Every structure is written in C-alpha cells, then in structure tokens.
Amino acid sequence: AQTVTQSQPEMSVQEAETVTLSCTYDTSESDYYLFWYKQPPSRQMILVIRQEAYKQQNATENRFSVNFQKAAKSFSLKISDSQLGDAAMYFCAYSGGADGLTFGKGTHLIIQP
C-alpha cells in the first residue's frame, strides 16, 4: 500500500519570505502522480500543483514550485513571496491508479504579517 508522510505538522513564515513544505511517499509503482492541495478554513480543497512521476522537470505554478526527487521518493513544495492568503492546511497526495488519492496528514502553514 502507498503511504504519504508529511513530517511538519505546522510551519510559520514571514510574509514575502519563502517556505518549503516536505513530503515523502512510499510506492512500488513506477508511474504515478503527486499533488499538493490547499485547504483553507472554508474546507474547500484546492489543487495547487501536480507532478507526473515520469517527468524529470519539476512542476511550477507561479509562486509555487516543487522539488521532485523520484529516487528518494521526496516531493517538497516551495512557496515564494508568501502572502497572507497562502495561510491554510497543505496536503501532499499520491495517485497511482483508478481509485482515490492517498493523503498525508497535512501541514498547517501560518503566514506572519
């Protein structure tokens, strides 16, 4: 079974600074997808970024980028120029087949003004 581990229950960063959220996963599959979802207090899960395992190039979406290390099974999220609106729970998720996502426990991101 696949597992996803987020070792940082909570992170705090000053507004406009850069923060990196960690995620590791375990799988025996070679073809899979990884995602970072954001969940603000409204409970709405929002996709931040995704990465295809077969692509070596790290995905980027504006201020959000990932550091995907396939051999190490690591998938960290970097948020540049942090904004107050980035405050939320961030979940790392794995998709390996035609079923549901496997989520990590989440990291609570606090943005200090």
Closer residue to another protein in complex, CB, 18/54: 54
**How many whole angstroms separate alpha carbon 8 and alpha carbon 98?**
29
Query: Whose Cβ is closer to another protein: residue 36's or residue 76's?
Result: 36
User: Which candidate, 35, 77, 43, 80, places its Cα nearest to that of 62?
Assistant: 80
Residue 70: CB minimum distance to another protein, A: 16
Please tell me the distance from the alpha carbon of residue 90 to that of residue 69, in angstroms, as a whole number. Answer: 19
Q: Can you tell me which of 12, 105, 110, 112 binds another protein, judged by CB under 8 A?
A: 105
Distances, alpha carbon 3 to alpha carbons 31, 38, 82, in Å: 15, 19, 28
From residue 39 to residue 78, the character string flagging contacts with another protein as x (rule: CB under 8 A) and all else as - is ---xxxxxx--x-x--------------------------
Closer CB to another protein, 82 or 102, in the complex: 102
The answer for 56, left when phi > 0, alpha when psi is -120 to 50, beta otherwise, is alpha
- Rounded Cα gap, residues 42 and 21, in angstroms: 21
Shortest distance (Å) from residue 23 CB to another protein:
14
Supply the minimum distance, in Å, between the C-beta of residue 45 and another protein: 4
The residue to which tokens 């960063």 are assigned: 13
User: Where along the sequence are the contacts to another protein (CB under 8 A)?
Assistant: 31-33, 35, 37, 42-47, 50, 52, 91, 95-106
